[in-house]
């Protein structure tokens, strides 16, 4: 059975980057994966001064809005690194929070799909033919965590 997720308030909402699960990466605490991801777009760019504003955003929605502003310049390698940046954030989230780690592991080998009606890169899009990169990252993180915990 395929597991669809999207909004934080729905079943499997903890799989969303907007879920209220903080992460610590390289000594910096981020309120959500979305805050971390949006800020990483600007590392080393001329718009890097936006990073502290994204970090301090009161919600993941605000962090996303700041990071998606079309007038800002992303780091030059963004298209090459964005999926790895996302994977780092997602992995830290599920390693840090045992409660949602268990939810992820309980999904077994089920297909995980971000049921975004508007995003065909991270999700499946309205017509369900999107690339589902977030779902693929979650499944990869699930496999990595499973192998780490089985070794113990």
Q: What is the pLDDT along the chain (152 residues), one digit of tens a residue?
A: 899 999 999 999 999 999 999 999 999 999 999 999 999 999 999 999 999 999 999 999 999 999 999 999 999 999 999 999 999 999 999 999 999 999 999 999 999 999 999 999 999 999 999 999 999 999 999 999 999 876 65
Query: Nearest-5° angle of CA 133, CA 106, CA 140?
Result: 30
Which secondary structure element, helix H or strand E, spans residue 4, and what is its range?
strand 3-5
- The domains of the chain are located at 3-150
* Beta carbons of 104 and 15 less than 8 angstroms apart: yes
Buried b (16+ CB within 10 A) or exposed e, 105-139: eebeeeebbbbbeebbebbbbeeeebebbbbbbbb
Phi then psi dihedrals of residue 19, to 5 deg: -65, 145
pLDDT of residue 149: 72
pLDDT of residue 148: 86
> How many CB atoms sit inside 10 A of residue 4's CB?
19
Pairing of strands 28-30, 23-25: antiparallel
pLDDT of residue 52: 98
List C-alpha distances in Å: 147 to 36, 45, 71, 91, 141.
26, 37, 42, 13, 10
Give domain 3-150's CATH architecture.
Answer: Orthogonal Bundle (1.10)
């Amino acid at each position: 059975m395929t597991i669809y997720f999207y909004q934080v308030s729905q079943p499997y909402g903890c799989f969303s980057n907007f879920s209220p699960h903080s992460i610590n990466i390289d000594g910096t605490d981020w309120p959500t994966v979305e805050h971390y991801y949006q800020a990483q777009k600007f590392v080393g760019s001329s718009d890097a001064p936006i990073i502290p504003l994204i970090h301090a955003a009161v919600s993941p929605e605000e962090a996303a809005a700041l990071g998606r502003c079309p007038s800002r310049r992303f780091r030059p390698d963004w298209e090459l690194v964005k999926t790895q940046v996302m994977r780092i954030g997602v992995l830290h989230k599920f390693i840090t929070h045992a409660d949602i780690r268990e939810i992820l592991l309980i999904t077994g080998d089920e297909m995980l799909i971000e049921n975004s009606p508007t995003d065909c890169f991270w999700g499946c899009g309205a017509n369900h033919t999107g690339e589902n990169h977030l779902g693929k990252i979650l499944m990869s993180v699930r496999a990595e965590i499973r192998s780490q915990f089985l070794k113990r």
